[in-house]
Amino acid sequence: MIYLEIPKKFKPLVEQARQVGEHVFRPISRKYDTAEHEYPKELDILASLLKGMNEGGGGTGAGAGGLSEKKKADDGKNRNGGNMATVLGMTELCWGDVGLSLTIPGQGLGNSAISAVGSAEQRKRFGHLWAAMAITEPEAGSDPSAVRTTARLEGDQWVLDGEKIFVTCGERADAVVAWATLDRSQGRAAIKSFVVEKGTPGMAVDRLDKKLGIRASDTATVSFTDCRIPKDNILGSPDIKPKRGLSGAKKTFDNTRPIVAAMAIGVARASLELTRELLKRDDIVATSYAGTQLTAHAAEAELYRMEAELEAARLLTLKAAWMADNKIPNSVEASMSKAKAARVGNHITLRCVELCGAAGYGERQLLEKWARDSKILDIFEGTQQIQMLIIARRLLEKQSADLR
């Protein structure tokens, strides 16, 4: 059974992540929003803090790199492991700053893929790396089965050719987890993921994108030209199994979509808290929940509604993470949490800007920045429309060919 309280063993992790968000991220948030592509050197001091978070979380981390292998629970006991710890920690970090959370050394989304799909030997071998995720291509966006980057086996090496766009931390990370097809004629079943370390001949960062939000995080275009990597750098089995197409990708997304939901919850909560504080100063809202939506000021009633929506998203996210830790299939719940939290988060941050008027639009407060940052959370790891399509397919028991 899922419990709604924060597990006792994770409370130190949550508190430490909150301290990082408040005392490390927020003071430099505007600085690196303005200085896009400049590496936040202050994040280097997080090494010891992240170690503390790992210890507080029972061996798990506060960021994406904290995900651990899911072990089957056969004793009927409730499990709260790496997925729950990561969701709780990421919520607090993104309460501080989303862009900075995405560029913490060693906490890339590629690390989640290695944790979800890699063997025990690969998790040990690549555990020290900061790994970015390289999925999207110029002609393969929300549909990962349309990947055109190829991988062919020559002797004891894989040879990769292709281009990836919108790679978060593609320049800063130590490696990328690149998705490529072994045989285009076999569709999604032939798509596998490969670990390509920085400095590998044939891999190049072609450009960095200028963005609306999350400017503290670099977003790169990465190309592979006759890029050769060791044979054992493929994550999972190299065998093509038509009935298990994109199984590695699904495992990865089941882990990472609740993380993105947690990001949205964190930034939305930050916006709501600051908005309530600013409106209190102007005596627009009450200092406590003394009234009801029927008797409250219109702005306060709006805050009530948004807080209720945010709580619903939070509970969905905790459920998806809990199911993953207890080895319960959570594809539907992962997509539900991501779709709900991302939509709600985007709505809340934008509405808070409007409610606060000049204070919301100006740069003296972080509200307008949070609104810009939140937009990407409704796009990457699968857009709102893609999440709804996935949910519909699962609930209606339809294949992708039957429901597009």
Domain architecture of the chain: domains with CATH: 8-122 (1.10.540.10), 130-244 (2.40.110.10), 247-396 (1.20.140.10)
Task: Write out the catalytic residue numbers.
Answer: 381
Contacts of 56 (CB under 8 A, 6+ apart): 9, 10, 11, 12, 13, 15, 16
Sign of CA dihedral 336, 337, 338, 344: positive
Place of tokens 């949910």: 391
Q: Angle formed by the axes of helices 82-96 and 298-325, to 10°? A: 150
Structural tokens at position 123: 């998790």
Collapse the DSSP code of 184 into the 3-class scheme (helix H, G, I; strand E, B; otherwise coil) and give the result. Answer: helix
Query: DSSP characters for 77-118?
Result: -----HHHHHHHHHHHHHHH-HHHHHT-TT--HHHHHHHHHS
Distance CA 303, CA 275 (A): 9
Of 179, 170, 115, the residue nearest 146 (C-alpha) = 179
Collapse the DSSP code of 167 into the 3-class scheme (helix H, G, I; strand E, B; otherwise coil) and give the result. Answer: strand
Structural tokens at position 65: 């790199």
Specify the pLDDT at position 403: 83
H helix or E strand, kind and range, residue 360? helix 358-361
Specify the pLDDT at position 58: 47
Specify the pLDDT at position 141: 77
CB 144 within 8 A of CB 179: yes
Instruction: Please give the average pLDDT of every successive group of 10 residues along the chain, which has 404 residues.
Output: 82 93 97 96 76 50 51 68 93 97 89 89 92 92 84 98 97 96 90 96 98 97 98 93 67 89 98 94 66 71 95 97 93 96 98 95 96 96 91 90 79
Specify the pLDDT at position 57: 47
Within 10 angstroms of residue 27's Cβ, the number of other Cβ atoms is 12
Of 256, 236, 259, the residue nearest 248 (C-alpha) = 236
Distance CA 224, CA 147 (A): 14
Size of the chain, expressed as the number of residues it contains? 404
Sign of CA dihedral 280, 281, 283, 288: positive
